[in-house]
Homo-oligomer: A and B are copies of this chain.
């Protein structure tokens, strides 16, 4: 993983350039996913993200955990969860009325709905990242291994 004999003389902007490219890839793809989630499933990306996080935690998550995992504020997640609850896709188990400490999980309907969206999402990613060979995909994922999320179930 390391290059101890780093070339002297590089312009020192490799990481910034990498960052700009990473941003561009994720924004372009997210923008496309956003449109497809809207047109195919009448849903939004933040909603999909919340359901994806809950999918990986069948026993449920505390709201605070969910926010931390998604790296967004508790306030943002709360509104999304409210609507998912109203739609019958998420169930909330109260804890003495303290809403922040409540546990949320996908309902059976939520799991069914999410699994259809996740399958479509996987196909879309396969297509949108089709220009990246599988070997290259493995290479990049390995280089960025430090950013593997704790919930990730792959090696």
Task: Determine whether A13 belongs to the interface, using a CB cutoff of 8 Å to chain B.
Answer: yes
In the complex where A16-B122, A140-B144 touch, is A135 in contact with B6 (Cβ < 8 A)?
Answer: yes
Residues of B within 8 A of A71 (CB): 27-28, 30-31
CA distance A146 to B147 in the complex (A): 22
Q: Are B137 and A14 in contact (CB under 8 A)?
A: yes
Q: Chain A interface residue count: which class? A: 35 or more
Chain A residues numbered 121-139 whose CB sits less than 8 Å from any CB in chain B: 122, 125-126, 129-139
Is there a chain B Cβ closer than 8 Å to A99's Cβ? no
Number of copies: 2
Q: CB distance A26 to B29 under 8 Å?
A: no
Known: A16-B126, A141-B14, A141-B18. A24 touches B133 (CB 8 A): no
Is there a chain B Cβ closer than 8 Å to A17's Cβ?
yes
In the assembled complex, how far is the CB of residue A116 from the closest CB belonging to chain B, in whole angstroms?
Answer: 16
With a cutoff of 8 Å between Cβ atoms, the chain B residues found around residue A143 in the complex are 132, 136, 139-140
The smallest C-beta distance from A57 to any residue of chain B, in angstroms, reads 16
In the bound complex, do residue B144 and residue A22 qualify as a contact, i.e. CB atoms below 8 Å apart?
A: yes
Shortest CB distance A126–B (Å): 5
Q: What is the interface of chain A, defined by CB distance below 8 A to chain B?
A: 1-3, 6-7, 10, 12-31, 70-71, 122, 125-126, 129-141, 143-149, 152, 154
